[in-house]
Chain A
Amino acid sequence: MTTALRTVVWIDRPEGAGAELLGGKLGSLVEMTEAGFDVPPAFGITTDAFTVFAESIDLQRIVKERCAGLDLDDLQAVERVSAELAKVIEEAELPRRLVADITAAYEQLEQKTGTPGLPVAVRSSGVSEDLEGASFAGQYDTYLWVCGIDDVLANVRRCWSGVFGPQVLTYRPQDGVPVVDGETLPGMCVGVQQMVQARAAGVMFTLDPLNGDRSKIVLEGCWGLGEGVVKGDVTPDRFRVDKVTLELLASEIGVQAQEYGFDEATREVALLPVEPQRGERPCLSDEEVVAIAELGKRIERHRGVPMDMEWAVDQDGRLHLLQARPETVWAGKPVRSVTGEAGGGAVDRVVAKFLSFGGGTGQ
């Protein structure tokens, strides 16, 4: 058993590891990397690693005790339990093997990029997340611009405690059964990925999220890191692209007074002011919009379903794929028919068209 245990998996060398070991987010990045898309280098601290940790402190028993009789509608009680569990996870000693494996992996990442103390993004990648119809977006955590192995380890623990965050404890999918009940622990992988020092970043849907129209690709982008778009506290520029011809159909450019970036003073990611001249300009050129949309189209074609993606353009103008997951809102809805029940050949339709000029006598 111990020989087969894999605590760390690189996204470009999965050696058979899938979503079970890597969770949805990292699993998807493995697939995107294999398909040749430009994903920044990353490794996952696997669900097995989480299990090793959980067993070392008998976490399941602790969770079961604390959750026993917990009223999920009593928010205060839920928050208290959540905080207690976080304290347990953050204070427990890490098994030595895990510390060694994660340290070795981070050092390898430093070497790979030639940057000691390389800034990374630490993200949770849950097993149930992204895969089912219910998207867990926003319910697990992301920590940006984490530098050095000590901070990496601290944020890995924070991701693990995120499994017991109040939103997760109270989350009940359609069947009404909570995800966390102490009977089993959810699988949780933590991804560690090189930060893209984004000039502009954002999200993209390979359909129109407003009406489900699959012939469009819609992008939202902002200056700096994509957090502005993801969190929604920067009004992004919005672009609509025709998926078939890749023509830019519409741009809505807002004025962005702030952007997310690394604040040298506080050593953390914060909202920083944007010079007015730059803030008034679109965060992407038309060519960049089309290049990003083209990437979205290729990814959709690769996965075979409409996708929801996060992307970033770095300071050198290079485009990176940060996230790719199936779109979940429109995927579950029946596709809209144009013709409905109305049959008839082309000639009948044309005749009806001529009639409709009269104001509704036609179909």
Chain B
Amino acid sequence: MSPTDAARTFPSPHSVETPPGAEGWQELYPYYTLLSDATKDEEERELWFFDGMHNPSAIYPFDTIMTENWWVACNQLTTRVWQIPPSWGIDHRIINGYLYISPRGVSDPQQIAERAEHFARRAGHYYTNWDEIYDNWIAKAEDCIGRLKAIEFTPLPDREKEEHVTSHRGLYSSYDLLTSYDRLIENLFEMGAYHFEMLNLGYGAYLTFKEFCQQAFPGITDQTVARMVAGIDILLFRPDDEVRKLARLAVELGLADLVRDTADADALLAAIGAAPRGDEWLKALEEAKDPWFWYSTGAGYTHTDRAWIDDLRLPFTAMRGYIDKLEAGEDIARPLERVLEERTRITAEYRDLLATDGDREAFDDLVQLARTVYPYVENHNFYVEHWHHSIFWSKVRELGDVFVAHGFLADREDIFLLHRNEIHSALYDLIVGWAAGTGGRGPHYWPPIVEGRRAKLEALRGWTPPPALGTPPEAITEPLTIMLWGITTESVQEWLGASDPDALELRGVAASPGKARGPARVVTDPEQLHDVQRGDILVCRVTAPSWAPVFSRLGAAVSDVGGIMAHTAIVSREYGLPAVVGTGYGTQTIKTGQMIEVDGDTGIVRILEEGAV
């Protein structure tokens, strides 16, 4: 291989070395997620890029349920349902515990033409009936969430209840435990399928409008296009709206000082409970929590993405900020009317700039379609990743408690070190042991496995996944890869040229305008968010909308991954924070404490001298 060729490819996925201490990591994951010698040639011919957007860290064995889910749910839509003409979906491999994904194109023109015919008819049906299908989608999603909530896991009783005898049901706790688990898993796959039902089409309609605008008004920013389309009743803003309401109520009820002075969340709840009229506030909190605090602190794809409802520190931090503003006489309500007026004004002004009646007609049609699909594009995220997934993780923890009660695991969190299929076996072991009175093999079998895996995962977490492996194709043609991850032929070239860890300049996508300088705060685990100081520049693999309370303290945000439609770009802009996403190497290149400069207009991040002002 000549030096030129070497520069045009990434390292082979098969050449990646296992970090010390993680030897044998493959046993954490199912065989079909791993690279294999049998398929080596094929794997080396493809481009694999690190999906830090959904799985920023090494994946827990149980959490592969999410990646495995979308491996099917996303691809079946692309490949078998819509027949998106140039795409054969997105393949997966787990490499050193991290998810790498590979966009697959269709190149045979005849095949593309055949698929196009089906796609036009099928997609056309959805676009034409979008509102009705979306209403029905909400009903399905809420029903699915309702059934998930109803699933309960409790330890098996020493003695079955009397009514299980007198009701002649003939089925007992072991059956309920086993089938509840089956229903839990089915429920996740059901929601996973809904998640993708309208997603590709929604992004496609939005992207078509965006590109029309970019052609007509060269240089128009992504933010401006989004402002023409976005509504105000975005569910992702609701949790924050609820926090504003609670801040207002705390001031009204004279609880502001308590909230400000009590840092610990549990202590604060107790103090409010003891305060006069504190019960009114606690009641309001309870009402807000369901569903709005089922709001993940991450992308919702890993169990480590805790929700606000599990950890009230983030919403309480935000509430303190709002209380300060209220007491300073500021209006903290979101200016909804102004946002809508601006949307109307901007849209009308751009429309007037178009040349012909034909252009204006196309613009009207496309903005209308984009506005039709946008509620789904924005809101599916709350239903699926936040509301559903947060409850899902809490149910798995409930099951973890059952294993702890029966001595299979030492801690409820240990359940995430087992793959879902292994849990099926463990449950059978458990009910056998319960029924036969032997206690099962589990208490001896699982704890050493759990400990071994914990050590391997720890070693994998110390490894930094490179953004890409394998051979780049001539062009990236897979629509979702371009629309959601922001990965294009150009950005891959950029990575090929820029993989220098000593580089002082990083390029990414300009996601939110403005310039800022400040000390870098590298965050690779949501827990590190609590260290953020005012004026810090957040550097992370990916941001999550629920980090919003911290955003008000930031000077700017930088992420390794993310495209124009990434969940977080919208919220970053809402907070008026300069942001550059998709830098590829930000968390590897930048160190906490370094002075950096973020240019949200050009997408450039510069490392200034360490410690310099």
A-side residues, CB < 8 A to B, are 208, 211, 213-216, 240, 242-245, 247-250, 335-340, 343, 345-347, 349-351, 353-355, 357-359, 361
Contacts and interface: CB of A to CB of B under 8 A. Distances in A.
The main secondary structure of chain A at its interface with chain B is loop
Contact of B119 (A216, A250, A339, A351): A351
A358 B359 CA distance: 25
A287 B358 CA distance: 37
Contact of B212 (A247, A248, A338): A338
Given A214-B353, A346-B208, A361-B109, 9 more contacts: A244-B224, A245-B346, A337-B355, A338-B212, A338-B216, A339-B358, A339-B362, A358-B107, A361-B113
A358 B358 contact: no
B85 A337 contact: no
A216 B220 CA distance: 9
Contacts of B123: 347, 350-351, 354
A339 B363 CA distance: 10
B510 to A, nearest CB: 10
Given A242-B224, A337-B356, A354-B204, A345 B217 contact: no
A359 B120 contact: no
Closest 3 CB pairs of A and B: A358-B86, A335-B355, A346-B365
A72 to B, nearest CB: 39
B225 to A, nearest CB: 11
A361 B478 CA distance: 14
A338 B201 CA distance: 23
A346 B205 contact: yes
A250 B359 contact: no
A249 B221 contact: yes
Interface of B: 84-87, 105-107, 109, 112-113, 116, 119-120, 123-124, 127-128, 201, 204-205, 207-208, 211-212, 215-221, 224, 227, 346, 349-350, 353-356, 358-359, 362, 365-366, 368-369, 475, 477-479, 482, 513, 601
A357 B477 contact: yes
Contacts of A346: 127, 205, 208, 362, 365-366, 368-369
A273 B228 CA distance: 47
21 contacts: A215-B350, A243-B349, A247-B221, A338-B216, A338-B354, A338-B362, A346-B362, A346-B368, A346-B369, A347-B123, A347-B369, A349-B212, A349-B365, A351-B116, A351-B119, A351-B123, A351-B124, A355-B86, A357-B86, A358-B105, A361-B85
Contacts of A248: 601
Contacts of B362: 338-339, 346, 349
Contacts of B208: 346, 349-350, 353
B205 A249 contact: no
The main secondary structure of chain B at its interface with chain A is helix
Contact of B224 (A245, A353, A355): A245
A250 B358 CA distance: 30
Contacts of B224: 242, 244-245, 247
Contacts of B212: 338, 349
B221 A354 contact: no
A118 B355 CA distance: 47
Contacts of B201: 350
Nearest to B215: A338
Contacts of A336: 355
Contacts of A339: 356, 358-359, 362
Contacts of A245: 221, 224, 227, 346
Nearest to B82: A354
Contacts of B207: 353
A359 B86 CA distance: 8
Contacts of A215: 216-217, 220, 350, 353
B86 A247 contact: no
A248 B514 CA distance: 10
Contacts of A343: 358
Contact of B112 (A211, A216, A355): A355
Given A338-B215, A338-B216, A357-B482, A249 B601 contact: yes
Contacts of A242: 217, 219-221, 224
Contact of B475 (A351, A359, A361): A359
B112 A350 contact: no
